[in-house]
Amino acid sequence: MRAALATAGGRLLQAVLAGGGDGYAGPHAKCPQGHQAGYAGARDKTITTVLGPVTLSRAWYRCGACGHGFAPRDEQLGVAGQTQSPGLAEMIALAGAEASFARAAVLIAGLASITVSPRTIERSAEAAGAAAGAANAAEAAAIRERRIVPMSPPGPLPDMLYVEVDGTGVPVRASETAGRSGKGEDGKARTREVKLARLFTVSGLDAGGRPVMDPGSSTYVFSFDGKDTLAGLVKAEYLRRGGNHFRQVVAVGDGAAWIWAMAEDLYPHASHIVDIYHAREHLHDLATHLAFITHDPAAWLAGRSAELDAGNIQAIIDAASCYPLAGVKAAELDTKLGYFRNNAHRMRYADYRRLGMFTGSGAIEGGIKAVICQRAKQAGMHWTAEGAADIIALRCQQASGRWDELWPARAAQPSRLRAAI
């Protein structure tokens, strides 16, 4: 039944499109370079749509000056230079963002009875992702330069806005890491780092007094181009979300220095919190370092863990500093304590709990898994950095609830025929 409807729909669409004319614009039309191009008769073009192939007859113009040939009708319908309709391109982007290109081809064939090669899916989905990335970068620049001023968020405003940041390595082809040092056995990089930021709001606490993330409140930005590029995107997203209007902004991270430098710069009034699980790892490390000299290492760690939970970082530093160490051992201890000294004001965990704040960075870790790992870090995957960025752009767009903005046929007021295909 569905196949019959698709076939009938394809015929209907072809007739509807034919009824809209062939785009004839008189004996002359302007070529993209601004020359006068001459009418060169009607030409057919077949595009693949979600209803199968549809053939268009369009007026064709040929430019004598630059040799360029074009059909004004293709521009009107959004298929210039394309063999797919915008509707099919969206379907491909959706599948290609979700699964490997080979798997996406299977899904589209199985669910929509449309045959598209994995290679076509890769090209089309990556082109959609590149367009998304470019649009987001342009929007971010416009917000930073105040050419776009986001409206204040509609009330009632959630109580807190969280900004969490983390990074992970995406496996890339050898050619993508030439000249970069890394963790591979031969000292060469096998991955490129992508940094991801997740912004979300919290309006209240659960019955146990723990904060609850507002459903659907998460938006994401990412970059393969290092912390400064990410900071620019985070700043724009923070402004777009109306960050300055929230009573409380909270920044959570793993303790990496760049995260705090960015936070001090973008939202200095925020509460800055070092993820408590990372802090506990550092505490374990500290206890191991001192195990040779502490009377009862397990009890020592338990005591310090309680102090960490209470946010009493000075007690940890004091307890670790009372042993007569010298030389390398003392120098190493100093380095390890530096983590606690530098971050003590970001480790007031008892206060954070009392104020109803998250003390862990579970939200960004979940985001890294869902947005990046589940698609980009599967067994056997080797990306180009560009290809990975394109697909992650699509996934961010979707995870941020901004998918529809990618498709002008729906977001803006398009011609009705353009929206139809």
Interface positions with Zn ion (CB under 5 A): 31, 33, 35, 63, 65-66, 68
From residue 357, give the alpha-carbon distance in Å to each of 235, 250, 251, 259, 404: 22, 8, 10, 19, 32
Nearer to Zn ion, 59 or 121 (CB): 59
Nearer to Zn ion, 35 or 329 (CB): 35
**Alpha carbon distance 273, 254 (integer Å):** 9
Nearer to Zn ion, 61 or 224 (CB): 61
Nearer to Zn ion, 45 or 68 (CB): 68
DSSP string, 140-174: HHHHHTTSS-PPPPPSSPPSEEEEEEEEEEEEB-G
What Rg, from alpha-carbon coordinates, does the chain have? 28
**Alpha carbon distance 101, 110 (integer Å):** 14
Closest approach, Cβ 65 to Zn ion, in A, equals 5
Nearer to Zn ion, 33 or 117 (CB): 33
Closest approach, Cβ 64 to Zn ion, in A, equals 8
Closest approach, Cβ 75 to Zn ion, in A, equals 15
Closest approach, Cβ 235 to Zn ion, in A, equals 42
Nearer to Zn ion, 64 or 338 (CB): 64
Closest approach, Cβ 198 to Zn ion, in A, equals 47
**Residue 158 half-sphere exposure, CB side, CA atoms within 13 Å?**
23
- Please report where in the chains the tokens 């996934």 appear, as a residue: 395
**Alpha carbon distance 202, 330 (integer Å):** 43
Token couple for 271: 């509460």
Q: Is the peptide bond prior to 72 cis by the omega test (within 30 degrees of 0)?
A: no
- List the one residue out of 219, 215, 217, 208 whose CA is nearest residue 356: 208
Closest approach, Cβ 37 to Zn ion, in A, equals 6
Nearer to Zn ion, 15 or 65 (CB): 65
Nearer to Zn ion, 8 or 66 (CB): 66
Nearer to Zn ion, 30 or 336 (CB): 30
Closest approach, Cβ 38 to Zn ion, in A, equals 10
- List the one residue out of 15, 406, 370 whose CA is nearest residue 166: 370
Token couple for 270: 């925020």
Closest approach, Cβ 25 to Zn ion, in A, equals 15
Nearer to Zn ion, 68 or 123 (CB): 68
**Alpha carbon distance 241, 392 (integer Å):** 21
From residue 370, give the alpha-carbon distance in Å to each of 16, 30, 145, 260, 367: 41, 47, 32, 24, 5
**Alpha carbon distance 266, 372 (integer Å):** 25
**Alpha carbon distance 355, 210 (integer Å):** 10
Nearer to Zn ion, 65 or 299 (CB): 65
Closest approach, Cβ 33 to Zn ion, in A, equals 4
Would the CA dihedral through 49, 55, 59, 64 be positive or negative? positive
Per the CB < 8 A criterion, the answer to whether 220 and 236 are in contact is no
From residue 127, give the alpha-carbon distance in Å to each of 81, 93, 97, 303, 337: 12, 9, 12, 55, 48
Closest approach, Cβ 30 to Zn ion, in A, equals 8
**Alpha carbon distance 294, 296 (integer Å):** 6
**Alpha carbon distance 184, 172 (integer Å):** 12
Closest approach, Cβ 73 to Zn ion, in A, equals 18
